[in-house]
Structure 1
């Protein structure tokens, strides 16, 4: 919105320096700064508001982690801070005539609402089970369905809607429409639904320690922003031999907004946390990450870019599957990990919470570097 005003002023009056706002790099920097300022300023006010309303984290007393009992009075639903600090700069600095802008805003906003309802039921209605699983999945499926349909049927995407870059292989793109263009949507749209659901849920599982999800999300956001920028430039995409996506550079601005919001939230969420994001933030962040990767056709890199999310999810799947298998075979369930998601395993081993979080951040940085190296290591 602000970009549209500045662009109009530049076209009609050409004030000195206003031409700089045409550059994505300028608006990316402004979006990052704006989101950081918003999250820091409104973050404190929202935390006080949550405390006033007694919206406190529901801590289960049967999980066997005594250190978490002290977090019971910490306000939750702080994901509202991240959503506002991401969407406001995005609306201010992104090109509102771009389909990319509306798709990514739609994904984050709707999944933020789904998470908010879940938190509301847990915190206000005092129902620890939260939103029924089928309703939560239904919201994720709806978002994936709308996004998948837009990415497949929008005319501007016709030349590359079902293509995706294969990491580590040169001049190789996978085409989901291998059964023919008329049936391509039968594979592509369910794939989008699966990715949105999987990444948003895995982000939700990762949000278990102070600063873990906000820190790793900021790192992943930087990587996705870089991919969006090079994909939206014909010179860089040709040099790097990746799919050229006209207009996708606008997603760099959103990624910068998300990074700034996560870093600002981390100011309050670092150990010991003054606020938790709740499902309001984790579902919105995870959905945005999945949508960003899909829109820049780098979804095959998600297991690396969001590697921490994936490991957290796999630990739960492995633990649950092995427990059921051993219970069926031996009559008694056995465990691979002391507790899942895997960050709780290390807590059970006696690691300090801050040590686990920082080490996971380091791993996330290394995975991010590996993701960028796939641009050349092919």
Structure 2
């Protein structure tokens, strides 16, 4: 919106140039979403408490989580409000990539809202069944990815990039592109949801990964930098940095209240929407393999659930004391704050490894 307004400031040309500076918009986008999130969260906490929108605890979960029963949930609404407000004000509304990201975020947020609402109304931790949730996610993802593929005008936007072999150009047909995009978006969105079991753990990893995506978006959206890092130039991806900084700002504001001991949880409306944002941005900048490295914590969480279910179903044997794996460490006696801090450290290390791989290959 600020870019549209700046075009009408013809008599204040220097001021309008200042306003449309990309670096300034990226920084202000972060600060705007952070301040909004920081300011509105206390009001939402009070509102949710009055409406009894509280966390529904798993009956088969760690007993230490029973004390979290009355803590408000659905805090993802706060993240969405602060993030979307900042993006709409500071980003280029004519950028088509912006609308792909916002659309999938809003629809995944709607799925999360329905899931959270069912949990609260029915007073159980199940909410939507897994099959219904996956079905809705599948429909939305297929539609968004198909629209992008059909409307895409850049051949390089369909290139599959393999680290260390970036000189090999693999262009994806529709079916292959759809399958890869579908798997990435569903995996990361549901993995963020699985990881959101300890105070601050999911949002810390999300912030770090989105920071990495911001750097990658800037590189692929700049002709000189993309050439230097031997990546395909994608003219629309640079604007994704504004989206990423808005997510980081809203995430930091939310973390202020979500850090241990949390006074609010993001709920599925937050975890699913944030996961979908990571997934679609990764697809748009063509860095699926690097996401598997950056998102190593989310990969570990989802794999622990798959392994646990497989071995228990076919071998009647539990590999972990409880899945996802962060619950395993809880039952081993590790304090919640220690687990969160150490998983955060691992996420930071994985981010640094990813950026190192980007440079050397």
- Normalised to the residue count of structure 2, the TM-score between the two structures is 0.97
Is 1:361–2:344 an aligned residue pair? Answer: yes
Aligned with residue 141 of structure 2, among 131, 135, 144: 144
Shift of 1:128: 3.4
Q: How does 1:178-257 map to 2 (within 5 A)?
A: 184-257=173-246
Is 1:346–2:344 an aligned residue pair? Answer: no
Q: Which runs of 5+ in 1 are unaligned?
A: 177-183, 327-332
Is 1:376–2:355 an aligned residue pair? Answer: no
Q: How does 1:1-378 map to 2 (within 5 A)?
A: 1-9=1-9, 12-63=10-61, 65-157=62-154, 159-176=155-172, 184-326=173-315, 333-378=316-361
1:34-54 deviations in whole A, cap 9, x for unaligned?
A: 010011011111111111101
Shift of 1:15: 4.1
The ranges of structure 1 where at least 4 consecutive aligned residues each deviate by more than 6 angstroms after the TM superposition are none
1:11-33 deviations in whole A, cap 9, x for unaligned?
A: x2234332133332111101000
Q: Which runs of 5+ in 2 are unaligned?
A: none
Q: Are the counterparts in 2 of residues 55 and 124 from structure 1 also a CA contact under 8 Å?
A: no
Shift of 1:294: 0.3
The 2-side partners of 1:173 and 1:314 are apart by: 30
1:200-246 deviations in whole A, cap 9, x for unaligned?
A: 11110000000001111001110000000111000100111101000
Q: Are the counterparts in 2 of residues 145 and 190 from structure 1 also a CA contact under 8 Å?
A: no
The 1-side partners of 2:150 and 2:108 are apart by: 22
- Normalised to the residue count of structure 1, the TM-score between the two structures is 0.92
Tell me the C-alpha RMSD between the 2 structures.
Answer: 1.4
| Matched positions, count | 361
1:157-184 deviations in whole A, cap 9, x for unaligned?
A: 3x123202211334134322xxxxxxx1
Structure (1/2) with the larger helix percentage? 2
Q: 1:199 to 1:239 in 2, by over 3 A?
A: same
The 1-side partners of 2:225 and 2:308 are apart by: 43
The 2-side partners of 1:2 and 1:120 are apart by: 35
